[in-house]
Amino acid sequence: MSLIEIEKKEVPEKPVEPLRVRGIPFFPHFLLREVVVMCLIAGSLIMLASIYPAPLLKPADPFDTPTPIYPEWYFLYVFGFLKFWTWDIGPIPAKIIGVSLPMVLWYGLLFLVPFIDRNPSSEFKKRKIAVALGVIALAGILYFTYFSIVHH
């Protein structure tokens, strides 16, 4: 904080040109807030790390399959969907669909979001379909994460 105060004095106050947006200047006011938030987050991480240290189980053994095996929490939905989808479609086996849908198709759709949603409005009420689809996608991800934990 004192560092910011010192540096502030070095930049002489000059008449500022009319600003594009209303708001507080990035430096030092906005940056100071950011530094406070950063300290809070860094502190929380250190606290979490000291209370719950990173786990280290037994050494890897290729001949001993443990149960249950969980992937990282952010991949659980893929895992869950693979277990959920048990139907072949024509010649395509269920496993291929179970893998492609949550990975290839899902990320493909995510990439294309701005090109699919051409509605220029960003007001909640004027983009009911986009918001509804977002809620459905979110609920789906949460459901398949839940599914992967329950149906292990």
* Footprint on residues 60-99 left by other proteins (CB under 8 A): 60-62, 64-66, 69-75, 78-79, 82, 95-96, 99
CA atoms within 13 A on the CB side of 4: 12
By rule CB under 8 A, what string of x and - marks binding of each residue 103-122 to other proteins? xx--x--xx-xxx-x-xxxx
Query: How near is the Cβ of 22 to other proteins at its closest, in Å?
Result: 6
Which residues does residue 92 pair with via DSSP β-bridges, in sequence order? 89
Verify binding: residue 150, other proteins, rule CB under 8 A: no
Give the integer Cα–Cα distance in Å for 59 and 56. Answer: 8
Burial label for 80, CB within 10 Å (0-12, 13-18, 19+), is buried
Which range touches other proteins (CB under 8 A), out of 54-62, 83-91, 144-152? 54-62
d(CA 86, CA 94): 5
Q: Cβ of residue 95: shortest distance to other proteins, in angstroms?
A: 6
> Applying CB under 8 A, which of residues 5, 43, 88, 100 lies at the interface with other proteins?
100
